Amino acid sequence: MLEIFYPDEYLDSTYEINFEALAKEGYRGLIFDIDNTLVPHGAPADERAKALFARLKRLGYECCLLSNNQLPRVEMFNQDVQVHFIENAHKPSVKNYQRAMERMGTDLKNTIFIGDQIFTDIYGANRAGLRTILVKPIHPKEEIQIVLKRYLEKIVLFFYRRRCRKLL
């Protein structure tokens, strides 16, 4: 029952993902959440984020930011990384995950979604049929509605980890 919320991978940080290995596997499109996935909530692109996107472009990736935030927030982050973006995405709605792939010229077989929230990011990407990577939030300071969802996420992650142990 909870499997629709399970990521394909769960890592400590976006910045530890082996994007070189994923490129060798044939992945060409990356869809990212912004807040607490790439930078703390509300922050502009920092040096680490700028370096990541420069590296991804050198590796031949198309990238798209998919955010439930409004245009000013997404534009502020994107001004320093210059990738495709969709604001006000209404995640977990599937429509804008598909739109992101259309903008990048990729498809379900060669695109990965990376985000920090189970009930919006991962649930929506799973419903869209994407490979998913859940990362731990960068910063503990979050809006109250997200804080409340984190308690429910702990339950999902408990069962996810238990399933992962059984598979070993």
As a whole number, mean pLDDT of residues 15-38 equals 98
Q: Residue 39's domain spans which residues?
A: 2-167
Task: Kindly report the CATH number assigned to the domain that includes residue 79.
Answer: 3.40.50.1000
Q: Into how many domains does the chain fold? A: 1
Give percent of the chain with pLDDT exceeding 70: 95
pLDDT in tens, 92-146: 999 999 999 999 999 999 999 999 999 999 999 999 999 999 999 997 666 666 7
pLDDT in tens, 28-79: 999 999 999 999 999 999 999 999 999 999 999 999 999 999 999 999 999 9
Q: What contacts 51, CB < 8 A, 6 or more positions away?
A: none
Structure token digits, residue 40: 């703390």
CA 147, 151, 11, 31 dihedral sign is negative
d(CA 20, CA 25): 9
d(CA 107, CA 27): 10
pLDDT of residue 168: 62
d(CA 102, CA 134): 22
Q: Is the pLDDT of residue 1 over 80?
A: no
Nearest Cα neighbor of 5 from 159, 141, 168, 143 is: 159
pLDDT of residue 165: 81
